[in-house]
Amino acid sequence: MINLNEKWTKVLSILKEEIPNESYNTWVLPLVPSVFEKNKLTLFSPHSFTAVTLKQSYGEIITRALAEVFKEPVQFEIIQDKILAENFEKAQRKVKKEEQKKITAEFSESKYDALKQMLSDCHLNTKYQFDNFVVGSYNKLAYGAALGVAEGKAGEKFNPLFIYGGSGLGKTHLIQAIGNYIFSKRKLKVKYVTTEEFLNDLLENLYHGVEKDTFTKGAEKNKRMTKFRQKYRSVDVLLIDDIQFVAGKARMEEELFNIFDALYQGGKQIVLTSDRLPSEIKGISDRLKTRFEWGLMADIGVPDLETRMAILKQLIDKEGQTGFSLEVIEFLASVYKNNIRELEGAYNKVCAYCSVYGEEPTLDIVKKAINYNSLSKKITIDFIINKTAEFFGISEEEIKGGSRVAAVAYARKAAIYAARELTGDSWQSIGNVLGNRKHSTIMYSYTEVKENMLRDDKLCDEINTLFNIINQS
Ligand code: ADP
Ligand code: MG
């Protein structure tokens, strides 16, 4: 994992040499690196006009410095952060006029504390708001329910609110928007946590500590666990992202169940997201499933082309980018159909490509930037079977046939998983090529591999290598 603060410090040392002192202190120094994802760095600023000022005057210098430190083209965006802004204003009010020059420097020391405070208290990222969430028919229900919960109008009917849908389609955005709204407008105590973070927190509290005699250890553990439970039970709104990962983790389930009941009985709001319905989360108890289904379940489907274009257009406008024609926007939105995160990633790639090579985002350049040719190369089920057989050192006939020898069955399942992931073809058409197997058999094998990959690193590596071979052939 990259250490963002470390990288940003390196970028700062380059920028300090290249940007005049005054501008550097005013605009650059107060920036706080927030997220690095898909070749894009998000920076928080206390000022609303930093983005325009910096992009206009020093955009190229910053892009170059980022590329040098990250060793690849990196886009950046600058967002005003409300908490940083408030702290900055407070600091400004405190200091007398003649000392004002020192403010920025002083502030930059305290900025991490301010952010840390916010992150540790409620764990929210202010970039996710209702205002910048594009609504279409596919997410209308989830959006309406989320807003209802945020405004506090929903009452018991929407408790818990369970938002489910595929990856990259806005679940985290919505659940965080609820948190941001409640935190800033209703001033309630909000806690956002991913299921993974919750699990890590639980394990840390359960097993942390140096070797001591059992008695002391037990007492300390009890104290820690009481604090842990208190932390989650003392909130007004608990937001848990990606709850499907609770599956198969009995201890976590138990804790979650108790927290859930305590909050629910206290009339506190709970919001959960998942990539599937409660009934489809295997390996959790019925009592927890039932709890998940008590309130409202709202799904997010697949966005239509128009919505995908609107989301992309919003991103372009926000960044003040010019040169993106409607044709290019439509093209990008039509290539990335099922995942907004991928669409955003592609857009960032295009921007990085254009700024590094000094190009305009014409259709040809966009195709080059996203490597469209290899993307659109049609991978067929037959091709996948061929490559999988070669990879596992068995014959294509064996993969298609009925052998139950472990090595053959293993390779067959890998082929099924690859076929579904890489072609997106229907269960039945994959079944037809694989020795006329039933749709349910294919689906079962696919799910089995997918779930095993979560636990089995060796399988995960093997599948990734196979994918690379198929994609690069
Ligand atoms: P998920 O949690 O479902 O995997 P995310 O909420 O992380 O997906 O969304 C991926 C990216 O797409 C985020 O940057 C998010 O802001 C953006 N996004 C998704 N849906 C929308 C939408 N309807 N309007 C605006 N941005 C969206
Ligand atoms: Mg998410």
CA of 168 to the centre of ligand 2 (A): 7
| Closest residue to atom 13 of ligand 1, CA basis | 341
Which domain-ending residue is among 31, 59, 85? 85
Give percent of the chain above pLDDT 70.
Answer: 88
Q: Are residues 287 and 222 in the same domain?
A: yes
CATH of the domain at 404: 1.10.1750.10
Whether residue 313 has its Cβ less than 6 Å from ligand 1: no
Q: Give a yes or no: residue 103 inside a domain.
A: no
Q: Are residues 187 and 223 in the same domain?
A: yes
Tens of pLDDT, residue by residue over 336-345, are 988 999 999 9
pLDDT, mean of residues 31-49: 83
CA distances from 214 to 52, 136, 205, 219 (A): 60, 57, 16, 9
Q: Is the pLDDT of residue 106 over 60?
A: no
* Ligand 1 pocket mutation, candidates 35, 241, 311, 340, criterion most atoms within 8 A of CB: 340
For the entire predicted model, the pTM comes to 0.62
Within 68-153, strands assigned E span 75-80
Give percent of the chain above pLDDT 90.
Answer: 53
Which neighbouring-strand residues pair with 32? 44
What's the domain range around 260?
123-300
Q: What is the pLDDT of residue 215?
A: 60
| Closest residue to atom 26 of ligand 1, CA basis | 133
pLDDT, mean of residues 291-317: 93
| Closest residue to atom 18 of ligand 1, CA basis | 170
| Closest residue to atom 20 of ligand 1, CA basis | 170
pLDDT, mean of residues 455-465: 87
Q: Are residues 296 and 219 in the same domain?
A: yes
Q: What is the pLDDT of residue 379?
A: 79
Q: What is the pLDDT of residue 102?
A: 56
Rounded CA-CA distance 447/353 in Å is: 37
Rounded CA-CA distance 365/356 in Å is: 12
Whether residue 137 has its Cβ less than 6 Å from ligand 1: no
Whether residue 309 has its Cβ less than 6 Å from ligand 1: no
378 vs 78, which has greater pLDDT? 78
Q: Residue 105 has which token pair?
A: 């420097």
Q: Are strands 40-45 and 32-37 parallel, antiparallel or unpaired?
A: antiparallel
Q: Into how many domains does the chain fold?
A: 4
Q: Is the pLDDT of residue 216 over 80?
A: no
Q: Give a yes or no: residue 104 inside a domain.
A: no
Consecutive H or E run containing 193 = strand 190-194
Rounded CA-CA distance 401/392 in Å is: 15
Q: Are residues 231 and 344 in the same domain?
A: no
Whether residue 134 has its Cβ less than 6 Å from ligand 1: yes
pLDDT, mean of residues 210-215: 55
CATH of the domain at 346: 1.10.8.60
Q: Give a yes or no: residue 96 inside a domain.
A: no
Whether residue 167 has its Cβ less than 6 Å from ligand 1: yes
CA of 128 to the centre of ligand 1 (A): 9
Which domain-ending residue is among 268, 300, 332? 300
Q: Give a yes or no: residue 101 inside a domain.
A: no
Amino acid at 216: T
Q: Are residues 260 and 163 in the same domain?
A: yes
CATH of the domain at 202: 3.40.50.300
90 vs 72, which has greater pLDDT? 72
Whether residue 172 has its Cβ less than 6 Å from ligand 1: yes
Q: Which of 201-215, 279-293, 315-329 has the lowest mean pLDDT?
A: 201-215
Closest by Cα among 291, 264, 270, 262 to 279: 291
pLDDT, mean of residues 85-107: 58
CA of 134 to the centre of ligand 1 (A): 9
CATH of the domain at 53: 3.30.300.180
Task: Quickly state the pLDDT bin for 56 (edges 50, 70, 90).
Answer: confident
Which domain-ending residue is among 318, 342, 371? 371
CA of 400 to the centre of ligand 2 (A): 36
Q: What is the pLDDT of residue 170?
A: 97
